[in-house]
Amino acid sequence: MPLRQKRRDTSARMSAVRVGLTAPLQEGCTCTPLFPLGKLSSVSEQEGALFGYEQCVPATAALNARLRALLQDLLLTTPIMSTLLVHIAQLEPPSLLSSERAVSFQRQYEHVPAGLHEQIFATMRRVIRLSDRLCLEDEAGGAFVFPEVDRCGMETILERVYRGICLLQAETVVPPLTRETTILLGWGSFSAPGSSLELLLFHASRSARRLTLRPALFNQLEDTPAILPSGIMHALSREADSLSRMTSGVPFLDLPREVPLRLKQLLPYEVAVALRCAPVGRDQNRLTVAMADPHDATAVQRLSEVTGMRIFPVACEIEDLDMLLANKW
């Protein structure tokens, strides 16, 4: 980018901050996977192909180094351990797009403010016993290390943490969110599923859970400088209205590609199709169900009767739900 254009973009971004149109600038996210994928010969091409931003849980270089050092020390005395990797990032608001990038509408990820970072980690720490974990944190997320916890134990901890984070809402964090925020979780175990430190880190870098908090920030587009094409502004406003109707009062969840077998056994397929829903998680006697209409109390009651469990309804993209239901179980 020419120096003159770069200065104009920087000046526009700082002007937006001064007049209160947006939050102060955050550090751009340049996090990468925990290791160079090509250097791990035991990883298949199919597994390697999964690595994109949507499937990868990246980390800062500092966290990478600290986590490796901690795991290396523990390996000398602990034959079994697991780690949970957390990455938190926000999309920059449309008002900060440069004039060049506005044409293609490519927003970048940035690190979250310290206050939001602490609220998210406080939520996770509340569902993990202090004696069960060691915690490393930095500006982009962090990692929990669990000595003497095997794969089965780690799966339970992951679901517990995920359910806790699902209770967060864009409107209830302090201050309320004004940017789309994505939380990625990945986990790995030693010696299962990995037989080496590198393989453990490989599995931890694969996204096991992904949660996006979407605030209704586009309701304020009238106050945004007109640097986006009018067609994009109209599309964003229409999408914001849809998201507001869909997520009001309940968490929003990005759905997996398929329903796990252990969850399929809890809810008959015919019932799921009739009520337009799909089971996506379980925590003891509570079943998390993605629903086309999570406010339908009658459907929630019916699900509770059929499964014999407490139902935790969440909103989702309707297209993703239809894709799940297209695969009969």
The structural domains of the chain, ordered by start, are 21-247 (3.30.70.270), 261-326 (3.30.300.160)
Are 186 and 205 in contact by the 8 Å Cβ rule? The answer is: yes
pLDDT in tens, the chain (329 residues): 444 444 444 444 433 333 333 334 455 788 888 865 544 444 444 443 333 445 688 899 999 999 999 998 888 888 888 999 999 998 876 554 444 444 444 567 888 888 899 999 988 888 887 777 788 998 899 999 998 888 888 999 999 899 888 887 776 778 888 888 999 999 998 875 446 788 888 889 888 998 888 775 444 444 444 444 555 555 555 455 445 444 455 778 888 888 888 889 999 999 999 999 999 888 788 898 999 988 888 999 999 999 999 998 888 888 889 989 998 88
DSSP characters for 21-89?
SSPPP-PBP--B-SS-GGG-TTS-HHHHTT-STTTB--B-HHHHHHHHHHHHHHHTT-S-EEEEEEEEE
pTM (predicted TM-score): 0.57
Cα torsion for 248, 249, 255, 260, to the nearest 10°? -150
Rounded Cα distance, 306 and 312, in Å = 14
Rounded Cα distance, 229 and 216, in Å = 20
Block residue for tokens 């003891």? 284
Are 207 and 185 in contact by the 8 Å Cβ rule? The answer is: yes
Strands 141-147 and 134-138 come out as: antiparallel
Rounded Cα distance, 6 and 13, in Å = 11
pLDDT for 180: 85
pLDDT for 8: 44
Rounded Cα distance, 173 and 171, in Å = 6
- CA-wise closest residue to 211 among 256, 177, 172, 174: 256
Per residue in 140-165, is it b (16+ CB within 10 Å) or e — as a string?
A: bbbbbbbeebebeebeebbbebbbbb
Angle at 225 between CA 219 and CA 226, to 5 degrees: 95
Cα torsion for 319, 320, 321, 323, to the nearest 10°? 90
pLDDT for 274: 92
CA 26 from chain centre, in angstroms, equals: 18
Are 154 and 84 in contact by the 8 Å Cβ rule? The answer is: yes
pLDDT for 191: 72
